Structure formats: C-alpha cells, structure tokens
C-alpha cells in the first residue's frame, strides 16, 4: 500500500533540514504584497531566495461543494465570488457553459450578447486597473494606485447602476440578463470612454515609461514561452511571453468574432521577452483594446440593437434547467487568463454531479517557485505582483 503521507513527510523533512546559514521566512498570509491571504514560505540565503513553497487555502470557500449541492441558477452568485474583481466575466463563462449544454446558446438575442460583452469588457478594464495600480504600490509607486482606483470607481458606479451591486453582480443569467441596461447607460458609458482615453496616456507617462519603474521590472522574472505553456499559464502571463493566445479569438464565443480588436503580446521592449515589464505592458495594452471593444458595442447597441419596449431580457431564462447526463468543459478568456468550468451533469435533476472551476490565477501562481528561485526578495515581490493573482480564485 502506498504511503499517502509521503509528500507531507518530505515537506517536513525539507523544512527541518534547513542549514544554519539559511533562513525560513514567511511572506503572508497577512502581507499587502500578496494581494490577499497567500502564504509563501521562503528558504533564503541572505537576500537570495533559494526556494519558495506556496501555501494556499486560507480563502477556501468550497465552491465545488456548493455548486454540486444546488442548481445551476443558484450557483451564479458563487461564480461571482471566484475572481471577485471580474465577476461579470466569471458568470459569463459559467452561463455560456450551461446554455451550450441546453442548446440555447445560438438563440440568445444579439442585444443581450452585446450587453454581456459590454459589461464584461468594462469589468476587464476595472480588473486590469487594479492589477496595474496595485503593481505600482507593490514596488513603491503610490500615485498610480490612486489614479487607477479613481477611474475604476466610475466603472463600479456604472455596473452598480445596471445590476444593483458594486462588485458581485449576479447580472448575467442563464438565457438572458437580470435586467436590460438602464435608460441612459449607453450615453454615460460613452462619456466615460471619452473621459478615460486621455487618462491612459497619462498612465503611460506616469508609470509605464517611468525610469524607476522600468529599473525595477525590466529583466526581472523572465518567463520563457515553453515554461509558461508547460505550467498552464494563460492570459496576460502567456501573451507577455510572446504567444498570441486569446480565447476570445481562438474559441470565438459570444459576439467577439464580429468585433475588431488586436491581441497585444509582449515584445521585450525594455528587457528580456516575458519579464515583469512585459506582463505589465500587456495589461495596459489590453485596457486600450477593451476600450475599443466597448466603443463598438455601444455603437451596435445604439444603432442596430436598440432597446424596444417589448424587449424582455428574461424571455429565454429557463424555469428549470433540465439536462441529460453529460459532461462539458467551457473555457473563456478572463482578465487573468483561461477560466474553465467542467460540468458533469446528472439525469432527471437540475443539480450537477460535479462542477470544477479552473481558475487562471491558480495555474499562473504555480509558476512562481520556478520564477522566483535565485532572485532577491525584493524582486520576488515584483514578480508576484506581475502575476496578478486573486486569492478568491486560487483558493475557490
């Protein structure tokens, strides 16, 4: 019989055999640069990190267990709490999976799909603004953080207007939406876009091309493309390593095929390809692309798919989700990378047998020991910040 505690014994052995020259340091679980409750156990020699052992689970809220004890509709609020900075994107992915299993994904009205893409992209900007702002703070720049939060607040207010909640929306429903957009939303959104565009130029001047920032991030933590793929990194992490892989284009879900946007990739402008600066820059460029997507959505929503008095965003919402016994894996591009849901459904009940969420941060974080080995502790913080993790999704 195999020894099921072998891994634990090996780990204990490793910590016990630290030499007197080395030191074990805990970063977190209550450390601001871990962006939540992540604990890193570092084995250091002076200021050089020799090994990193991440400990997860401080924010484990049993998403999988909850999802398999209630029906699909009730699970949507739980998906909001996975990556709580991009709730719209989470529920969009989940809802798309259920809709495809039901076979109603082609019947969803275009107006609903455009609204979904619009709110998802707004949420993507909000999520990236946090990533950019807190990354500045991680390495000692305070002003960008305040500026990013100021702009994000406009998005939060708009989404609150649409859904009634600031961060956890429960707005995208299976087969439709909670409500249509409020009257005047499109105009306010246009105003926001006009306000926001010059702010992005300011941000470039303030942070992207700031010499201190470049010195702290360029050539640090370079992630080669093959390592990134092998560790399952996705989203800006993978694209910063030079791979053009965006599920919005690869899977062409929702109305993304009708929308014109670029996929920014890392170019190694300031140093090595795939370094911290590249990861940061890919996010800044993605915000610019998202602004383009929002403009196109607003254009279509005000011209081709205008609101009509008899438009009911809940017309296709099923009373009960009746599925035959099957399996389905849905993946979608979240701000942090590939969010996947693996459904195993059961016959004659609307409660799934198994729902597994594949969080992008969970996989992106697993590459940290590889990136951080041999770096200085200060650089480790820069690397961790550039991965942009959300613990709600790592621990689920």
Which residues would be at the binding site for another protein (CB under 8 A)?
1-2, 4, 6-8, 10-11, 56-57, 60, 62, 64-65, 68, 100-101, 229-232, 243, 245, 250, 326-329, 331, 338, 340, 342, 344, 353-354, 356, 358, 362-363, 366-367, 370, 395-396
CB of 3 to another protein, least distance (A): 10
> Which of residues 144 and 175 has its CB atom nearest to another protein in the complex?
175
Report the residue number, 133 or 175, with the smaller CB distance to another protein: 175
Q: Token pair for residue 60?
A: 């484990």
Q: Looking at beta carbons only, is 170 or 366 nearer to another protein? A: 366
Q: How far apart are the first and last CA of the chain?
A: 32
Q: Minimum distance from CB of 101 to another protein (Å)? A: 7
Beta carbon nearer to another protein, 207 or 339: 339
Closest distance to another protein from the beta carbon of 228 (Å): 10
Tokens 């370094």 appear where?
275
Is 60 or 320 the residue whose CB approaches another protein more closely?
Answer: 60
Is-contact 96 79, C-beta < 8 A?
A: no
Minimum distance from CB of 75 to another protein (Å)? 15
Given the complex with another protein, which of 50 and 307 has the nearer CB atom? 50
Smallest separation, CB 278 to another protein (Å): 18
CB of 300 to another protein, least distance (A): 27
Contact yes or no for 42/49 (Cβ under 8 A): yes
């Amino acid at each position: 019989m195999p020894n099921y505690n072998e891994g634990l014994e090996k780990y204990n052995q490793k910590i016990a055999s630290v030499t007197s020259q080395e030191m074990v340091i805990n970063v977190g679980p209550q450390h601001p640069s871990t962006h939540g409750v992540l604990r890193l156990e570092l084995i250091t020699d002076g200021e050089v990190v020799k090994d990193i052992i991440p400990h997860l689970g401080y924010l484990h809220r049993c998403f999988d267990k909850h999802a398999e004890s209630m029906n699909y509709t009730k699970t949507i609020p739980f998906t909001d709490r996975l990556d709580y900075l991009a709730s719209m994107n989470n529920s969009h992915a989940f809802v798309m999976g259920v809709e495809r299993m039901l076979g109603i994904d082609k019947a969803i009205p275009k107006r609903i799909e455009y609204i979904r893409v619009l709110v998802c992209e707004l949420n993507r900007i909000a999520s990236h603004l946090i990533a950019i702002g807190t990354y500045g703070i991680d390495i000692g720049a305070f002003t960008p953080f305040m500026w990013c939060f100021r702009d994000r607040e406009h998005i939060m207010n708009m989404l609150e207007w649409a859904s009634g909640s600031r961060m956890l929306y429960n707005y995208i429903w299976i087969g439709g939406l909670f409500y249509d957009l409020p009257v005047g939303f499109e105009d306010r959104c246009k105003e926001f876009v006009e306000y926001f565009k010059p702010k992005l130029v300011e941000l470039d001047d303030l942070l992207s091309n700031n010499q201190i920032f470049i010195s702290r991030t360029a050539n640090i933590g370079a992630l080669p493309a093959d390592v990134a793929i092998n560790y399952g990194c996705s989203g800006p992490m993978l694209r910063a390593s030079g791979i053009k892989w965006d599920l919005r284009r690869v899977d062409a879900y929702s109305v993304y095929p009708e929308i014109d946007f670029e996929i920014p990739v890392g170019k190694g402008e300031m140093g090595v390809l795939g370094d911290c600066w590249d990861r940061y820059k890919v996010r800044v460029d993605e915000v610019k692309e998202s602004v383009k997507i929002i403009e196109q959505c607003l254009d279509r929503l005000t011209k081709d798919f205008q609101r009509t008095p008899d438009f009911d965003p809940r017309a296709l919402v099923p009373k009960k989700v009746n599925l035959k016994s099957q399996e389905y894996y849905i993946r979608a591009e979240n701000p942090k990378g590939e969010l996947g849901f693996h459904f195993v459904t059961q016959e004659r009940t609307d409660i799934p047998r198994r729902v597994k969420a594949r969080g992008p941060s969970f996989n992106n974080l697993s590459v940290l020991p590889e990136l951080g080995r041999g770096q200085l502790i200060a650089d480790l913080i820069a690397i961790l910040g550039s991965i942009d993790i959300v613990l709600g999704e790592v621990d689920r």
